[in-house]
Amino acid sequence: MIRLDDYIQDFSNAFWSAEPVQPWEIIDQLETILTERLKLLGSDYFIKNNQAIHKTAIIEPGVTLKGTLIISENALIAAHAYLRGPVFLGNAAKIGPGSEIKNSLLLDHSAAAHFNYIGNSLIGHHVNFEAGSVCANHFNERNDKTIFVMHRGERINTGVIKFGALVGDHVKIGANAVLSPGTILEKNRIVGRLELINQTN
């Protein structure tokens, strides 16, 4: 069992306080989680069509927003970024120009600098994706597309065909690096520029 609080501080208190669940299960239930969270938001948010944008958030021209979204205090979404909900952006999260975020959570002070793709992933606090880095969520090249993860020496079958990564707090991911589907990164990990992370082959 992967304990999400080992990777992302206070995750269970902020997002999930019921029975333990795996990160890919959170992703599968993200639409429901955010829909319920929308009901608790106050007047500091503009809310319309299942999209909540904090009054202090900045959304630059050319941004495309689809589906259920919560964009928190002081978040920034730069020009021509594309968010495909369900997506949650934490306080002061930054999405750079030309980046695409799909079915994911990026928590407080995390940033996808520019021209990034992050799909079906849980991204902790203070994580930085340098330009062009990718968090892939699907094995296009395989006949059997089921995603496995490696967790502390154990190979776990997720039972899903779309899951990107669990990225712990304070991780730094270099420019043009690729996280293969099913990547799990402990807190404070550094991924080098142009590095490929493929933990289960």
Catalytic residue positions? 114
**Whole-angstrom distance, CA of residue 56 vs CA of residue 156:** 41
Q: Are 108 and 126 in contact (CB under 8 A)?
A: yes
| Distances from the Cα of 71 to the Cα of 40, 78, 81, angstroms | 14, 13, 13
**Whole-angstrom distance, CA of residue 74 vs CA of residue 189:** 26
Residues 6+ away with beta carbon under 8 Å from 3: 20
Q: Are 125 and 141 in contact (CB under 8 A)?
A: no
